[in-house]
Amino acid sequence: MTNSPPQAAALLAAEEGLIEHIRQHAKLSHGAYHTPDDWTYPSPFHLLMALGRRFTPVPHPGDVPAMPDRLCYSNAARFALAHQGDDFIYAEGFALTHVGTGIYLPHAWVVRPDGTVLDPTWDDEPGRAYFGVAVADSRLWPVDGGGLLHDFERILPLLRDGFPLDALADRGRPLTEGTRESIL
């Protein structure tokens, strides 16, 4: 999908704010708790900064069913499972609720093959931004509720060992697109 120059600039600015939010949490986590030195990632924020991608929001098609609020992880996983023939996959990370509010929330959504977002939980109001990981391995999708990055039982193996080989999909845009800043 292509955006007009003003839309593209607004999306990039929203993404940069979201990524800076995650970057700051990664920096703060160094003093907040300690993980063993041999773990792959010291925190979920470090994992996102190492593996995360930018995902482009686009308008919903007319046939997206309304799914329950506050159940984004299971909503996205169930929607992706129901639409695997359409090559939708589960993605998780953080999202900006609306430009201007500055509210960044842990969130899950579905990613199309072109890296665009289909969010079965939130409406497609302009001003959203998404940054996270696209998980290709459907065995990891949290159809039962809690997300991969925010559920204690699910995140510990990922922090310790990283994602299994080929578990992530190469969808979305790289972290460094449009910016010259370092990761941390």
Evaluate if residue 181 carries a pLDDT over 50.
no
SS3 95: strand
Cβ burial of 6 (10 Å; 0-12, 13-18, 19+) is exposed
What spatial distance separates the first Cα and last Cα of the chain, rounded to whole Å? 29
SS3 59: coil
Read off the pLDDT of each residue in 67-79 and give the average, rounded to a whole number: 90
SS3 106: strand
Each residue's pLDDT tens digit, 100-117:
677 999 999 999 999 999
Each residue's pLDDT tens digit, 142-174:
999 889 998 999 999 999 999 999 999 999 999
Q: What is the pTM of this model?
A: 0.90
Structural tokens at position 119: 């969010």
Dihedral of the alpha carbons of 100, 101, 104, 107, in degrees to the nearest 10: -100
